[in-house]
Amino acid sequence: MMTTVVLKKFAYEARSWELIRDSFFLMDERVLNEGMLRSFKDCCVPTADELERINNYFDVDKGNPDNLPEAEKFFRFIQQVPRLQQRCEAWLFKFAFDDSMAIIEQGLYAYDAVEMALEMSVSLKKVLEIILAIGNFLNQGGRSEKAQGFGVSSLSQLTRLKAADKTTTMLDVVVSAVKQIDARAGEQFLKDLKHLPEASRVRLKNDLTPDLQKISKQITDIKDTLQQIKSETEGAGAKLKALFKSDPSPKPKDAFVLVMSAFLERALQRVNMAKARLEKIVKRGDQLTSYFGEDNSKLTADGSQLAIEEMVKIFLNFSNEYQLALDEQEKKRQKEERETKKRVLKEKQRQRMLAKQQGGKPDEAKSPDHDALEPVVVDEYEDRANPGETVMDRVLGKLRGESSKGIMNNVKQRRASLKTADRLMAHLSEKRNARVALKNDKSSRTVSPADRDAPPPPPRASSPKKHGQPPPPSSPPPPIDDSPLLIT
């Protein structure tokens, strides 16, 4: 019944029986595409028992072909194609080969890119160095105070180590430290490891290796089938002539063996290249796990996966958690920035209202938020998100139990002492400027006309002569007569 439905579908699409038969000889994909070939294989390929019954009907019973149903007529006709079942399977393999290999090669490319990034990324090494430095700082006084490195499996512990507030993790501190020391490295290493999600979905041991082995076996089986078709075509000429005799339509040359042989040669070369690439990835993965301080035997203790597969999962979790912590800190920074702007705007509005009531201009210099907005000189290790607080302050406070409130109180006291010193210096400068201004004011006073006509004041009495002092000056000389000289 199903065979009749499929044959009617082919007839509706203007595909005659002869056209279907010739497409198998020529492997014409314009006539039979993958979907039609799959339907044909499931419904229209006769079994050995069906063919035996049909042949007995004609050979033994001398039956009339017109008395056969449509499906049996087609089965008798399609016998002209030797090994039709094997041809369908080989042709379907050819249709699916490119897609199957594309999936395998994409997984190999993802692993190649990940291993290259783990080995060559300078930004990743910088982030790991910062993590090692913070770990050594926290382990001061312990056996691991001056560790030279750490295993990559320790990256999964960063979110489990929490500060006294039970919310801040060591990863949060690492993200803050990376932003202060080398923010570009923190962003770049995430880009370098962008192929981690794709690689984590590929299982080298349980997926790619069996798939390549299966494809290799299929190629070997199809080669055997082609050899059988070739030998049967050459040795079964009489039988084929008898079948063709009942069908007067012209028969094309059977090119199935030629076309499939050329395809299998290219396919086998592609599969061998993928196998060599997979072996290289596994070998380099073992070297990378050792490079990152891990024991391959521990990572593959259960035998379900390779060492590089486990390491890819560890780095994927670390990069995802790092990105999440980075986003959370950015949201917090933006929120604090919005609140600061609102607070400043509110204070400015209050100053304008006061100025309007007093009839003057707002004195923004007296704003209580003015001191909070003053630029503060900080050193290179100071946290820009929290002026006055250094990265080491945060590490000490967050990871050694000191509350962040205590840190900020220390910071405020330090800044207050700096402001007190600045005010004292300003006060002393004002007093000095006032004395200079008073002195200049006395020296610049104008002399009145009465004072000009008055005789000069008598000279002051000289004090008794002391030993070693010069004698007092004598009386001034008589004035010089500047009247004109008369010559007689």
Q: Per-residue pLDDT tens for 149-196?
A: 677 778 888 888 877 777 888 888 899 999 988 889 989 999 999 999
Note whether residue 74 is domain-resident.
yes
For residue 203, pLDDT beyond 70: yes
pLDDT for the residue numbered 403: 47
For residue 51, give the amino acid letter: L
The verdict on residue 212 lying in a domain is: no
**Opening angle at CA 407, ends 402 and 370, nearest 5:** 160
In-domain check, residue 347: no
In this predicted structure, what is the pLDDT of residue 110?
93
Kindly report the number of other CB atoms within 10 A of residue 1's CB atom: 7
176-181 LR contacts (CB < 8 Å, sep 24+): 176/329, 176/383, 176/385, 176/391, 176/394, 177/130, 177/134, 177/391, 177/395, 178/127, 178/130, 179/329, 180/381, 180/382, 180/383, 180/384, 180/391, 181/130, 181/391
Q: What secondary structure letter does DSSP report for 208?
A: I
The mean pLDDT value of the chain amounts to 75
Instruction: Kindly tell me if the per-residue pLDDT of 486 is higher than 50.
Output: no
CA distance 146 to 189: 25
Contacts of 6 by beta carbon, 8 Å cutoff, 6+ apart: 39, 40, 43, 44
pLDDT at 263: 93
Residue 19 lies in a domain: yes
The answer to whether residue 48 sits within a structural domain is yes
Q: What is the pTM of this model?
A: 0.63
pLDDT above 50 for 284: yes
- Does residue 34 form part of some domain? yes
In total, how many domains does the chain have? 1
- Is the residue at 197 inside a domain? no
Tell me whether residue 40 is in a domain. Answer: yes
By the 8 A CB rule, do 152 and 294 touch? yes
Q: Domain range holding 31? A: 1-79
Confidence band (pLDDT; 50, 70, 90) for 144? Answer: low
Tell me the CATH number at 1. Answer: 1.20.58
**Per-residue pLDDT tens digits for 361-415:** 555 444 444 444 444 333 444 445 555 555 555 555 555 454 445 545 655 665 6
